[in-house]
Structure 1
Amino acid sequence: MKGKIPVTVLSGYMGSGKTTILNHVLQNRQGLRVAVIVNDMSEINVDTGLIDRSGALSRTEEKLVEMSNGCICCTLREDLLREVERLAKQGRFDYILIESSGISEPVPVAQTFTYLDEEHGIDLSSLCRLDCMVTVVDAYRFWHDFASGETLLDRQQAVSKDDTRDVSDLLIDQIEFCDVLILNKCDLVEEEDLQRLEAVLRKLQPQAKLIRTSHGRINPSEILNTGLFDLERASQAAGWIQELQKDSHTPETEEYGISSFVYRRRRPFHPERLARWMEEWPETIVRAKGMIWLATRHDTAVLLSQAGPSIQVGPMGHWVAALSEEEMERVLVAEPETARRWHPIWGDRVTELVLIGVDMDRQQVERELDGCLLTDEEMQLDWSTFPDPLPGAAEGNVPSV
């Protein structure tokens, strides 16, 4: 076997057209010997049947590996490891192409090719090179799925009864972590709507190469042997992360009413008022993510993540200012940026929330969020007495202020 075998992973929600794209690539692969792994959640492998009928792949040559009733990112991770290892060691292939199931998250798949799996003793990074993470988006159904408010359980697409993921969260996960975004079924959408959707996708994922397709027709060179994948770059590619790192003083040109900003405040939220505001979450905010400072959870930074109708709140970790003196000093020496932004009273406690929206009224959103902050009078009270209806409310008294 000459060198490491390059691998491309196709992700995308169910019905986005991954299999059509896969078939098109196989029919136009220009002599490349391609091994394909299809990961299908359904009992009847419709995807596999399509690949067989295409004539681009023969089962008898053991190039096709079916992975049924499971998901690459969860129950079949070991199967994926072993199949890729087996195919790579055969030395018969120039390329491995993986079609993830529609409910698979791309990050764990990418990690599979990047780290040694100590549990199973398999190091795919010594055999393969992850070349490209591709996400396919259904241009026709995207907004319908994104705004549905449904979970995978509601749609009977969950891995198990414990799989309570929201469809909108899954769509965002797939978009935010990729090298190439394929906007498929463009022939079914009006040009103006297509341009607006494209602008939203570029805001959610500014670093990915965005390609329009109809009927999955794509030049294979767009997703094979691209050399695009870099784990560190991909991990920092999401629009909300890019927004945090931007110079906030740079004025932004809005395209199709799509805008974003970072809400930064050095004053904690009153959890009850924030909860009430979240119940009436503005529909114009498509995506929000960041850390918030809650008055009732003085020691813990709280992660707020919203994708469409799905809003999640949970602990992110301790504020540096809540650590012991020794640990605090260690962090401040190791992280000069944290030290530079240190507040004499509150330390690193701050709210930094990125908001991305369509026709979003920034000033109104800021006014409403400011109204959820503690007032001057409340700043002097015992914060632990405030009602906290948000998920994961911490117990115990807040240090006196």
Structure 2
Amino acid sequence: MDTELILVSGVTRDGVAEVVDRLLGEPGTAVLHHDLAEVASGVVRRRLRVHGLPPGNVVADHTAALELAHGCVSCTLREDVLPLIRKLARRPEVGRVVLHLDPVIEPEQVCWALLHVLVEDAPVADDVRLAGVVTVLEPAAWLTDATSEDEVPDRGLAALPDDERTIAQLVVAQAEFADLIVYAGELAELWQRARANAVLARLAPLAPRIDLASLDPADPLGRVPETARRGRPDGPHAVLLRGQPPLRPDCGVELVLFNARRPFHPDRLHEAMGVLLDGVVRARGRIWLATRPDAVLWVESAGGGMQIGYVDDWLAAATGRAAEAKAWADADPERRAAAALRWHPRYGDRIQELTVLTCGADPLEITEALRGALLTDAEVAAGEAAWRRLPDPFGWFHTDPCGDAVLADPAQLLRGEDEK
């Protein structure tokens, strides 16, 4: 596992290309890129560049056009990207693989596949050292995108099948999962840069933010702290304030924390969801509805887009000694500790936990709207049988704005769960 793997993401094409080219300048580096610009025509263009070791010190450059297997983007990428990374890792002249992601790809999806999808009976991460994710962005443009309601295809990016993400959902996900953020492109005005810094310090608190000129091609992730995620996705029960982001307001940016024990009234929550979309960069967390007290639902929004979906059962939902013992044994130590500390005699480990990163929205309005969506004292006293009869506009996977379409889950693209 001596071969290092670095992912480079971002919608700033020129900036990403410059970062990748700098990394390629180091001998022993291979850069792999799958261009999805022609994906609507059923074609993915692959480019592989390998900078050999001295004395030759030559950069080999190979391109190929791949037809989509079964017309499926995720199948094609899985069947080509993952095996090719493994082959590169086993070549003696390659000490580092740089995976240059298409602008439309979120790095978390790819990292999930590297860690979990089996290739020859083992995940590719067994053959490489996943060093982390570098996200490249232009501060002023990124902040505009992070609160935009534009959809991804409207911005000239590849139109993946059934992709209804907003540009905000894409760029926020790329920055949030970064281990290092590189500023590129035009120099932002001082106020724009200060505001972008305030947002990113709360969105990705463990990721150092540097200018392109400060990037060290030999050790680009050398500044990343030991506690960084380094490409490893969080589970649905991980702490929401990872990296201890600042809680004080700065440049009109603030991180709002909402916690409550009693359940949400589904209909009132649905009406209140608008406060998590306007002037909000990111909202995320775990909730429970009165109509389905067993289910842990995950809420995630960015810009004008939101997803709410089932991710797990609460530990309190297990009934009977055997089921309870199994539920606790299957839970990771962090979840067990949190559940034990907050156990409630009626609700068990059920809790409303949301973090809302505002950039223009009124934090007090958000808190009041969410609190108003909780069950009243009279509704709580009516009991669970009455709760289950409440109107519930949420399915097991809900999007906002409401519609018939179901968005891909955060790791769907490379898991291969899309239609074939």
Q: TM-score, normalised by structure 2?
A: 0.76
Q: Which has the higher contact order (CA 8 A, sep 6+)?
A: 2
C-alpha distance in 1, partners of 2:242/2:135?
24
Q: Which amino acid aligns with 1:89?
A: R
Structure 1 residues 94, 233: CA separation in 2 closer, same or farther (over 3 Å shift)?
closer
C-alpha distance in 2, partners of 1:208/1:251?
14
Q: Deviations over 1:135-164 (max 9, x none)?
A: 112324213333332333445645643333
C-alpha distance in 1, partners of 2:78/2:226?
20
C-alpha distance in 2, partners of 1:283/1:366?
14
Structure 1 residues 121, 383: CA separation in 2 closer, same or farther (over 3 Å shift)?
closer
C-alpha distance in 2, partners of 1:358/1:258?
5
Alpha-carbon shift at residue 182 of structure 1 (Å): 0.9
C-alpha distance in 1, partners of 2:392/2:105?
34
Match status 1:218 vs 2:219: no
Structure 1 residues 42, 272: CA separation in 2 closer, same or farther (over 3 Å shift)?
same
Match of 2:324 in 1: 328
Match of 2:7 in 1: 9
Q: Deviations over 1:285-337 (max 9, x none)?
A: 22111111211122212211111111111112222222222222444576243
Structure 1 residues 16, 148: CA separation in 2 closer, same or farther (over 3 Å shift)?
farther
Q: Which amino acid aligns with 1:164?
A: E
Match of 2:294 in 1: 299
Q: Which amino acid aligns with 1:206?
A: P
C-alpha distance in 2, partners of 1:16/1:389?
43
Structure 1 residues 272, 129: CA separation in 2 closer, same or farther (over 3 Å shift)?
same
Alpha-carbon shift at residue 264 of structure 1 (Å): 0.7
Considering only aligned residues, what root-mean-square deviation do their CA atoms show, in Å? 3.8
CA contact (8 A) 2:281 2:357 kept: yes
Match of 2:29 in 1: 34
Structure 1 residues 331, 16: CA separation in 2 closer, same or farther (over 3 Å shift)?
farther
C-alpha distance in 2, partners of 1:195/1:68?
43
CA contact (8 A) 2:12 2:136 kept: no
C-alpha distance in 2, partners of 1:235/1:114?
8
Structure 1 residues 200, 244: CA separation in 2 closer, same or farther (over 3 Å shift)?
closer
Structure 1 residues 15, 221: CA separation in 2 closer, same or farther (over 3 Å shift)?
same
C-alpha distance in 2, partners of 1:246/1:217?
23
Structure 1 residues 124, 388: CA separation in 2 closer, same or farther (over 3 Å shift)?
closer
Match of 2:169 in 1: 169
C-alpha distance in 2, partners of 1:69/1:152?
23
Alpha-carbon shift at residue 9 of structure 1 (Å): 1.6
Structure 1 vs Structure 2: percent identity of aligned residues?
Answer: 28
Alpha-carbon shift at residue 358 of structure 1 (Å): 2.4
Q: How does 1:1-400 map to 2 (within 5 A)?
A: 4-13=2-11, 15=13, 17-27=15-25, 29=26, 32-43=27-38, 62-64=60-62, 75-114=76-115, 117-121=117-121, 124-155=124-155, 157-158=157-158, 160-187=160-187, 189-213=188-212, 218-223=215-220, 234-235=231-232, 243-244=240-241, 252-281=247-276, 283-326=278-321, 327-332=323-328, 335-381=336-382, 382-392=386-396
Structure 1 residues 217, 185: CA separation in 2 closer, same or farther (over 3 Å shift)?
farther
C-alpha distance in 2, partners of 1:321/1:91?
52
C-alpha distance in 2, partners of 1:25/1:393?
40
Structure 1 residues 222, 359: CA separation in 2 closer, same or farther (over 3 Å shift)?
farther
CA contact (8 A) 1:257 1:359 kept: yes
Q: Deviations over 1:40-93 (max 9, x none)?
A: 1124999969x89xxxxx9x9645465767799663122112222333333123
C-alpha distance in 2, partners of 1:245/1:128?
25
Structure 1 residues 202, 75: CA separation in 2 closer, same or farther (over 3 Å shift)?
farther
Q: Which runs of 5+ in 2 are unaligned?
A: 51-55, 399-420
C-alpha distance in 2, partners of 1:246/1:125?
24
C-alpha distance in 1, partners of 2:123/2:295?
36
Match of 1:397 in 2: none
More strand per residue: 2
C-alpha distance in 2, partners of 1:306/1:322?
27
User: Residue 193 of structure 1 aligns to a residue in which SS?
Assistant: helix
CA contact (8 A) 1:72 1:80 kept: no
- Count of residues in correspondence between the two structures: 375
C-alpha distance in 2, partners of 1:346/1:230?
33
User: Residue 264 of structure 2 aligns to a residue in which SS?
Assistant: coil
Alpha-carbon shift at residue 10 of structure 1 (Å): 0.8
Q: Which amino acid aligns with 1:223?
A: P
Larger radius of gyration: 1
CA contact (8 A) 1:291 1:302 kept: yes
Q: Deviations over 1:206-254 (max 9, x none)?
A: 01121123xx77331452677878885654789x96554699xx99433
Q: Which amino acid aligns with 1:384?
A: R
C-alpha distance in 1, partners of 2:326/2:123?
34
Q: Which runs of 5+ in 1 are unaligned?
A: 53-57, 395-401
C-alpha distance in 1, partners of 2:248/2:66?
46
Q: Which amino acid aligns with 1:9?
A: L
